[in-house]
Amino acid sequence: DQQVKQNSPSLSVQEGRISILNCDYTNSMFDYFLWYKKYPAEGPTFLISISSIKDKNEDGRFTVFLNKSAKHLSLHIVPSQPGDSAVYFCAASARGGADGLTFGKGTHLIIQP
């Protein structure tokens, strides 16, 4: 039973355009959500996070939106750059992170020139 779902295994976006990565979750106990970026042969790198008490968090080109009623979050990257090509993982946490993060299977973002 997947508690965090990323339904798009891959996404191709033209350089300069907006990239939108989506994530759905089922566990209503999740209270913190994170996005990680992963290059091949490297560990995931923390990108941006959002608490369940907020509906938007912005950091430079990256914005995360949370819709609690729909149990849905999305990551917007604008403008997309070639270096953004990577696998993006959505993760969720309950109980202050003590149980570890629950990850989706990832979306491979490809930025085309």
Partner 1 sequence: GAGVSQSPSNKVTEKGKDVELRCDPISGHTALYWYRQSLGQGLEFLIYFQGNSAPDKSGLPSDRFSAERTGGSVSTLTIQRTQQEDSAVYLCASSADRGGYEQYFGPGTRLTVT
Chain residues 24-63 in contact with partner 1, contact rule CB under 8 A = 32, 34, 36, 41-46, 49
State the residue for tokens 């946490």: 93
The answer to whether 65 touches 7, Cβ cutoff 8 Å, is no
Q: What are the Cα distances from residue 93, in Å, to 6, 80, 96, 104, 108?
A: 16, 27, 7, 12, 22
Q: Does 101 bind partner 1 (CB under 8 A)?
A: yes
Q: Does 104 bind partner 1 (CB under 8 A)?
A: yes
Report the SS3 class of residue 83. Answer: helix
The minimum distance between CB 95 and partner 1, in angstroms, equals 9
Q: Which is nearer to partner 1, 43 or 60 (CB)?
A: 43
* Chain residues in the site for partner 1 (CB under 8 A): 4, 6, 32, 34, 36, 41-46, 49, 89, 91, 93, 96-106
